[in-house]
Amino acid sequence: MLRAMALALDDRDIRILAVLSREGRLSKTDLARRVNLSATPCAERLRRLEKAGLIRGYGARIDVGRLGPSVTVFVMVELDSHKAASFQRFESAVAQLPEVTGCWALGGGYDYLLRVVTPDVDAYQRLIDRLLEGSAGMRRYFSYIVTKEIRDLPPPVEALFGETDREDP
């Protein structure tokens, strides 16, 4: 058995997480078949994984480009101050912005990495201006506009546990 966050995981649990991370729309019956379990034990494992917080939610991966014009920008952010209150203030500010679809605290040269999705570059700049003018505490930022998406996959659950069944390319 492997352990993750004080929850004992076996190979079937890991397989359930891996399959769901790639195919979240799968029915419980199909999931059970894919992980070689009957429906009831699979559903019990699924409830246990959800209750433990290993499954944060379910959703569709939307191709935003097909909805209409949009721009994705990765933003490296440096804060004015490195006091705990400054980090909390910034995190609270970005949590209120639906355009910020990802936010990661970093160790090293920059404090945060943001993924921002807006209809166009002007809308992105207006969002940044609001952050700079508000009390978010941004000292400076660096913008990297995505010109082409090459790869955007869920995490490699099985590989995190050293269990892969893929062949070398």
Q: What is the pLDDT of residue 103?
A: 98
User: Is residue 167 very low, low, confident or very high in pLDDT (cuts 50, 70, 90)?
Assistant: very low
Residue 161 resides in a domain: no
Last residue of a domain, one of 15, 30, 60: 60
pTM score of the predicted model = 0.80
130 is in which domain, residue-wise?
64-145
Mean pLDDT calculated for residue range 30-56: 93
38 & 85 share domain: no
Q: Say how many domains are in the chain.
A: 2
54 & 124 share domain: no
71 & 85 share domain: yes
Who's near 86: CB < 8 A, 6+ residues apart? 79, 80, 137
Mean pLDDT calculated for residue range 13-20: 90
Q: Which CATH number goes with the domain that contains 83?
A: 3.30.70.920
Unique residue bearing structure tokens 């949590």: 95
69 & 125 share domain: yes
pLDDT in tens, 64-89: 888 899 999 999 999 999 999 999 99
User: Is residue 168 very low, low, confident or very high in pLDDT (cuts 50, 70, 90)?
Assistant: very low
11 & 45 share domain: yes
